[in-house]
Amino acid sequence: MITLALSKGRIFEETLPLLRSAGIEVLEDPEKSRKLILATNQPDVRVLVVRATDVPTYVQYGGADMGITGKDTLLEHGSDGLYQPLDLQIARCRISVAVRADFDYASAVRQGSRLKVATKYVAIAREFFANKGVHVDLIKLYGSMELAPLVGLADAIVDLVSTGNTLKANHLVEVEHIMDISSRLVVNQAALKLKQAPIRRIIEAFAKAIDDCHSESMDCGSSPQ
């Protein structure tokens, strides 16, 4: 049995074509079912529906053989015990610093002010500002980061930006582009040894699907809109 951990939403949707290219069809829609283990048309392949931030944990400890997770989640979690054979180039977005449109970020940085930064990406934010030599107080949040500068909880946020619509709707502007993000395939290192043939088959099918997608210059559902 090969167990693949996926999170609901965009990663799940954009993984379906890759699975199809490996001959795998998921038999239920996680948005409609409350089931957390989904069968596929392959009796020896199943899908676990887990929180995005839990995917590396399931794969690291062998609760799943493989998983698909954003680079953001991997950087925050750490990648101990995880083999990362592929950048799937799906769910692409970026991590940025954003502030209220009326906040003078450049001056604050130039003057060496201590910035209050709200984020769920504490490790990424800490490293970014440390490299810039900017002193920050990090405030850990779990969602709706855009609210923090609006109510005076923080001067800035570090968050994912895809279309930029959420920032715009909340009168925030991007002032730094920290890094580009996409989803990665992660594999449990012990599973890779024990179940080498079926895991390699899936990795190769995914790699071929990504290549085909790019060589045909198709919109493979992975570009930020």
- In the complex, which residues of this chain contact ligand PRP (CB under 6 A)? 143-144, 146, 159-166
Tell me how far, at minimum, the Cβ of 10 lies from ligand PRP, in Å.
8
Q: How many CA atoms lie within 13 A of 210 on its CB side?
A: 19
Tell me how far, at minimum, the Cβ of 141 lies from ligand PRP, in Å.
9
Tokens at 118, concatenated? 């709200």
CA distance 175 to 21: 39
Q: Output the CA–CA distances (angstroms, integers) from residue 6 to 37, 135, 183, 189, in the order listed.
A: 10, 36, 11, 18
| Residue 91 zone, left/alpha/beta (φ > 0; ψ -120 to 50; rest) | left
Q: Distance of alpha carbon 143 from its chain centroid, rounded? A: 14
Which one, 112 or 143, has the nearer CB to ligand PRP? 143
Which one, 65 or 72, has the nearer CB to ligand PRP? 72
**Cα dihedral sign for 135, 128, 78, 54?**
positive
Residue 114: DSSP 8-state: P
Which one, 52 or 82, has the nearer CB to ligand PRP? 52
Which one, 42 or 166, has the nearer CB to ligand PRP? 166
CA distance 19 to 193: 21
Tell me how far, at minimum, the Cβ of 52 lies from ligand PRP, in Å.
8
Residue with tokens 């809109």: 225
Which one, 95 or 109, has the nearer CB to ligand PRP? 95
Tell me how far, at minimum, the Cβ of 225 lies from ligand PRP, in Å.
7
Which one, 66 or 91, has the nearer CB to ligand PRP? 91
Tell me how far, at minimum, the Cβ of 121 lies from ligand PRP, in Å.
10
Residue 72: CB atoms within 10 Å = 26
Tell me how far, at minimum, the Cβ of 48 lies from ligand PRP, in Å.
20
